[in-house]
Structure 1
Amino acid sequence: MKLTYEILPADQAVQCRELCNELMIYQKSKAVIKPELFNTMNFETRMLPSIESALHNHLVAVKDGDEMIGYVYTNVSPKTAYSNDFATFFDLNSVSGDQVGCLSQFYIKDGFRQYGIGSKLFEMSMEWLRQFNQVEDLFIYVSNGNKNALEFYQRKGFVVTHDILGGFITVLRNRKCR
């Protein structure tokens, strides 16, 4: 493997379209609660709206040679962005500031997992989030059935706080380490 990590500007997010769509298929394959909700989730309905509503975006792609094999998308958004027609993701009053950090999407192609790529992408995201002094609360949302992701984030210090949408999504939270 010849891995390279590249920070992509938000206007080049389209480079992650195929992987984002693979992520939605993967999440649906793992889901035991309402897998049909993933039928309308894709790059255009998930990543693009998130990028547009965020105050700050951070997108890192990882390649093996010329092949894109994974990515992580992290953002800083107003906390009010997490209360919408789809769901209220956390108690807005429990967040000390007006902005939150979110590791929003994370995907590594099958066959490339278990080589430390996920840990490297995760650390790059957390390092980026640390620069925002006004952000204290960090969130990660894990789709139901994705036990490996849930355990990964817990090993990284995130704690399950609650489920939303009848268990469709598990909410994990951490206070930012400075």
Structure 2
Amino acid sequence: MNLTYEIIPDDKIEYCRDLCNELMAFQKSKAYITPERFDTMNFDTRLVPSIKSAVHNQTVIVKDDDKIIGYVYSNVSPKETYSNDFATFFDLSSVSQKNVGCLSQFYIQEEYRQYKVGSKLFNLSMQWLAQFEDVEDYFIFVSNGNDPALEFYTRKGFSVSHEILDGFITVLRSRKKLAAKI
């Protein structure tokens, strides 16, 4: 195994198409609350619009030789981005700054999950987010049924804030101090 990590520019996001679609299928397979919501979620409806609406983006891919086996997509976006036709993800008045940071998508193929790839990607995401002085609040949104992800993020210092869409998504939150420690 020869793992390498690479930050890719937004115009190369197509590299993540297959993995993003795998992530949506994985989330649907774990969901016990309205899994059919995932039927319309894919690379074109989730990742591409998120990149276009964000102020800043970072996507890090992980390769085993030339095969992409995982990625993390993080962004800085106006807090209003998280109140839309789909849902209101958090109380906008609880965020004092204009922008929020989000670890938005995170996926590693199953056979690579035992090699600390997740911790490395998480740390790269938090370090990147920490550079934005105008961002104090960080969010992660975990789909129902993905208990290992929920446990991973809470071990990393995020706290469960609340659930939305009748439990379809759990909202995790942290303040800037977490990212500064990594």
TMscore range, shorter length: over 0.9
Partners in 1 of 2:167 and 2:20 — Cα distance? 22
Q: Distance in 1 between matches of 2:92 and 2:114?
A: 35
Q: Which runs of 5+ in 2 are unaligned?
A: none
SS of the aligned residue for 1:137 comes to strand
- Normalised to the residue count of structure 1, the TM-score between the two structures is 0.99
Structure 1 CA distance, aligned partners of 2:22 and 2:176? 30
Alignment match, 1:137: 137
CA distance in 2, matches of 1:121, 1:96: 27
Please report the RMSD computed on the Cα atoms of aligned residues, expressed in angstroms: 0.5
Structure 1 position 85 matched with structure 2 position 103: no
- Secondary structure of the corresponding residue to residue 110 of structure 2: coil
User: Percent of aligned positions with the same letter in both sequences?
Assistant: 69
1:11 maps to which residue?
Answer: 11
- Is residue 106 of structure 1 aligned with residue 106 of structure 2? yes
Greater fraction of residues in helix: 2
1:91-121 deviation per Cα after TM superposition (whole angstroms, max 9, x unaligned) = 0000010100000000000100021000000
**Residue identity opposite 2:63 in structure 1:** K
Q: Which residue of 2 aligns with 1:123?
A: 123
Amino acid at match of 2:121: L
Question: What amino acid does structure 1 have at the position aligned with 2:32?
Answer: V
Letter in 1 for 2:123: E
Equivalent runs, 1:10-49 vs 2, <5 Å: 10-49=10-49
Distance (whole Å) between structure 1 residues aligned to residue 144 and residue 7 of structure 2: 29
Aligned positions, number: 178
Letter in 2 for 1:176: K
Unpaired runs of 5+ in structure 1?
none
| Residues 1:167 and 2:152 are matched in the alignment | no
Post-superposition, which runs of at least 4 consecutive aligned residues in structure 1 deviate over 6 A? none
Letter paired with 1:135:
V
Distance 1:4 1:48 in 2: 24
Using structure 2 for the length normalisation, give the TM-score. 0.97
The amino acid across from 1:160 in the alignment is V
Number of the residue aligned with 1:54: 54
Match of 1:66? 66
What is the distance in 1 between the residues matched to 2:114 and 2:144?
Answer: 21
